[in-house]
Amino acid sequence: MSDGDIRAMLDLAVCAPSGGNRQPWHFVVIRDPGTRRAICDYYLEAFRRYKHGVLRQAADGHAAAQAQVARWERSGAPDAFAESLGRIPVLILVCLDRERLGLGNADPSAPLPPIAYASIYPAVQNLLLAAHGLGLGAVLTTLHMPYEREIKELLGVPAHVHTAALVPVGHPKRKHGPPRRIPAAERTHRERWENI
C-alpha cells in the first residue's frame, strides 16, 4: 500500500465533524513489522479473553452471546484475524486528544465521558469508507484497549491522548460484498417505539 493511499485515507478522515469543530484526532501509522507483532501479541491476549467470555455467556444462556457463537459456527471464529493482525501491512491507531476537547486538566487516566467519542468515530468511519473506496480492506476494532497503557508506551503516545480505535488496513484476499446486517426496517420505529 502506497504512502499516497494512506495520505488519501487520512485526508478524508479529517473531514469528519467533531464537537465544537475541535478536531481532537491524531493517527499513528504503524508499518514496522516488529511493532505490529508487539501490538498483535497484546491484541491476541485480549481476544482470547473476549472469546472465552462470549463462550461462557453463551453457555449461561445469554441470547446475544449465543447468536454470536452461532455466527462463528457458520462463518468461523475471528481467531484467524486476531492471529494474523501482525501480518497486516498497516495498522492505524486512531487517537483522541483530551486537551483538544477541553478535558486537559482532568486526570489523563480517567475514562473519557461517552460524548467525547462522538468527536472521533466519524473520522474512523471516514477512514474506513476511504479505504473501501481505494479497494483496500479495513476494519474498526477496539480490542486493543485492555492493553492501551502498554501500547501507548510502545508508541510514545502522551498520557493525555487516548486510543479510540485500531484500524488494520491491507489488500483483501477476496472481494467482499455488502456487510450482513439486520434490515433497517426491523429496527426502525415510526413516531413511537411500538410502531415498527
pTM: 0.88
Cα-based distances in Å from 105 to 95, 111, 157, 165: 18, 13, 18, 23
* CA–CA gap between residue 133 and residue 106 (Å, rounded): 39
Burial class (CB in 10 A: 0-12, 13-18, 19+), 178: exposed
Q: Give the residue, 38 or 99, on which the prediction is more confident.
A: 38
At 59, the pLDDT band (50, 70, 90 cuts) reads confident
Burial class (CB in 10 A: 0-12, 13-18, 19+), 170: middle
Cα-based distances in Å from 55 to 17, 64, 67, 76: 38, 11, 11, 14
CA nearest neighbour of 81 among 194, 167, 13, 145: 167
Q: Give the residue, 10 or 51, on which the prediction is more confident.
A: 10
Lowest mean pLDDT among 145-149, 162-166, 176-180: 176-180
Mean pLDDT over 24-45 rounds to 96
Residue linked to cell 455488502: 178
pLDDT at residue 104, as a whole number:
62
CA nearest neighbour of 131 among 45, 10, 29, 41: 10
pLDDT at residue 105, as a whole number:
63
Sign of CA dihedral 174, 178, 179, 181: negative
